[in-house]
Amino acid sequence: MQFHYSLMAEETRITLRYDGPSVADGTLPIEDVLSALQGFSGAYNKVANLRNDKVQHQLRVSAIQTGSFEMVILAWLVLGQTPGALENLEMAYDATRWVVERLFRLMDVKKHAKNEPVTFNIKGSGNTVVVVNASGAELAIPPELVNLMKEKAVDSDLAKIVAPLEERRVDLAEITAETKKQPTLKETVTSEEREYFGAKETETTQETSVTGRFISLNKDSHRGTFELQNGRHIPYRYSGPSPDMFPSHFARKGPVRVEASVTFNESLDPTYVEILRVTHLQGELPLGPESN
């Protein structure tokens, strides 16, 4: 996903990118996309509200790009009354970077805490707050983030951002923020770190049959998106016999029944299918006129 922020004459370019075998064809289940967008928007706006200034942040979806799976978002900054255009520009520029820096720091704290209790210590005159994890390691944070953390106000939003991560399928989430004036900011979360954001689920895997249809296919990796009967899209990989013949199954229209190793989440919803065999289902034949 790519978040593109236009700030009057300047711009900050923010990219949210997911990488791994299941997104090699540039696709993700639509549920994961919407959840990640909601999470990013929620966390961004909650941090932005801490500034208490006249800058209003508005996020808008612009376009989707394939490749490593990127989505373009436009964030417009609506400015209040300031002394002049130059001051407006600097306020917009500083406001976006201020928000992104603190959003990244909140993500750092999650990885620092590792799902264990933390304590907060104030150092010096109160301008420095450190988060002490269960191992005694310290991480400095801006003091204005303390209440957000204690109230867990952005926990669910951050969990949505990392929710698409899954070991051996979606290995990495990377967010970068680029501007012309200052060094690029970058934050990464791996599939192994996903559980630190409260997004860990209990999964089970079993061999069973699933009915649905193929939505997309990467012919090189034999991966793509499979639509279940309830309309939910989940990733799949074909690992059955004669993989070179598998694209012919995708080319045919209509529903299929696949024998697969299916991964279920804690709600027993399928989240991934490792396909072993494919059977095309015959549609209903039209009935002719009744004979006397």
The CATH number linked to 249 is 2.40.50.140
How far is 83 from 1, CA to CA, in rounded Å? 36
In a domain, 267, yes or no: yes
In a domain, 81, yes or no: yes
Answer with the one of 163, 197, 231 that is the final residue of a domain.
Answer: 197
User: Edge-to-edge strand order for the sheet containing 185-190?
Assistant: 56-65, 70-78, 2-7, 10-19, 172-178, 185-190
In a domain, 36, yes or no: yes
Sign for the pseudo-dihedral over CA of 164, 139, 134, 154: negative
In a domain, 144, yes or no: no
Q: Are residues 9 and 61 located together in one domain of the fold?
A: yes
What are the CA-CA distances from residue 44 to residues 75, 93, 151 (Å)? 11, 15, 16
Q: How many helices (H) and strands (E) does the chain have?
A: 5, 14
In a domain, 221, yes or no: yes
Q: Are residues 32 and 165 located together in one domain of the fold?
A: yes
Question: Residue 122: helix, strand or coil by DSSP?
Answer: strand
Produce one character per residue of 6-25: b if its CB has 16 or more CB atoms within 10 Å, e if not. Answer: ebeeebbbbbbbbbbbbbbb
What total of structural domains would you count in the chain? Answer: 2
Interval 13-18 mean pLDDT: 81
Comparison of pLDDT for 138 and 20, the residue scoring more: 138
pLDDT 10s digits, 144-173: 999 999 988 999 999 999 988 988 788 999
Structure tokens that stand for 238 in this block: 């074909």
Q: Which domain holds residue 215?
A: 204-280
Please work out, in degrees rounded to the nearest 5, the angle formed at the alpha carbon of residue 211 by the alpha carbons of 245 and 18.
75
Question: Residue 95: helix, strand or coil by DSSP?
Answer: helix
Q: Are residues 276 and 178 located together in one domain of the fold?
A: no
In a domain, 19, yes or no: yes
pLDDT 10s digits, 203-244: 788 999 999 999 888 888 888 888 999 888 888 889 988 888
Answer with the one of 174, 197, 220 that is the final residue of a domain.
Answer: 197
How far is 116 from 232, CA to CA, in rounded Å? 34
Q: Are residues 27 and 97 located together in one domain of the fold?
A: yes
Does the model's pTM come out above 0.95? Answer: no
In a domain, 137, yes or no: no
Confidence tier at 248 by pLDDT (50, 70, 90): confident
Q: Are residues 67 and 173 located together in one domain of the fold?
A: yes
The residue type at 164: P
In a domain, 237, yes or no: yes
